[in-house]
A and B are shown apart, each in its own frame.
Chain A
Amino acid sequence: GENVEQHPSTLSVQEGDSAVIKCTYSDSASNYFPWYKQELGKGPQLIIDIRSNVGEKKDQRIAVTLNKTAKHFSLHITETQPEDSAVYFCAASFFGNEKLTFGTGTRLTIIP
């Protein structure tokens, strides 16, 4: 089955700087890669996703890049703000298979 590795497990960034979280996946058939943000005491919430026919996708201050050859994808957050502090999860799945495989999460702390 699919295996998703996520790094780093913790990340501290000065407010206003950029943050990058990286994930690698094992199954070359995977073609859908979402990112979730989990705030304290809440369930994960989808923030951005990318499909394998696209190399990059942006939504305001967040972006995701995908390298199919290397089987890795990354989340980029620019101009970080205190409200970006949370745990972020990457995930992967294959079209037709409705099960997501999640990474182990990254705790992002924005330092004021």
Chain B
Amino acid sequence: NAGVTQTPKFRILKIGQSMTLQCTQDMNHNYMYWYRQDPGMGLKLIYYSVGAGITDKGEVPNGYNVSRSTTEDFPLRLELAAPSQTSVYFCASTPRGERGGYTFGSGTRLTVV
């Protein structure tokens, strides 16, 4: 049981490049989330999903896209990277009906130069 797995752990992008942050969970959790963590700013919700085929915007969705074709995977897509997207990205999951018992991945540190 690996929990929530995020890849890559580190990435440097040039402005305007695109990339996909991968997130996979093996706990059969229905709910999945993407947060970004900026210094002194806590965790901000980018997108979330309550099940396969269902996604919704969080607090800071601009510049990102997501898809949820399976229960296990919830990739985050950056189409045109900007310096403002330099951050640490965390994926999390929780079973339906469990309040707040998020399991987080270990994060992806992204730098846009």
Contact = CB atoms under 8 A, between A and B. Distances in A.
Given A43-B90, A99-B48, A93 B100 contact: yes
A30 to B, nearest CB: 11
Contact of B99 (A32, A41, A43, A105): A32
Contacts of A105: 40, 42
Interface stretch (A12-20, A44-52, A54-62, A74-82): A44-52
Interface residues of A, number: 27
Contact of B105 (A34, A43, A98, A100): A43
A44 B93 CA distance: 12
Contact of B104 (A32, A43, A93): A43
B31 interface: yes
Contacts, number: 62
B107 interface: yes
B102 interface: yes
User: Closest 4 CB pairs between A and B?
Assistant: A43-B104, A104-B42, A34-B100, A102-B43
Interface of B: 4, 31, 33, 35, 40-45, 48, 50, 58-59, 90, 92, 94, 99-102, 104-107
7 contacts: A4-B42, A34-B100, A46-B102, A91-B100, A93-B100, A100-B45, A105-B42
Interface of A: 1, 4, 6, 9, 32, 34, 36, 41-46, 49, 51, 89, 91, 93, 95, 98-105
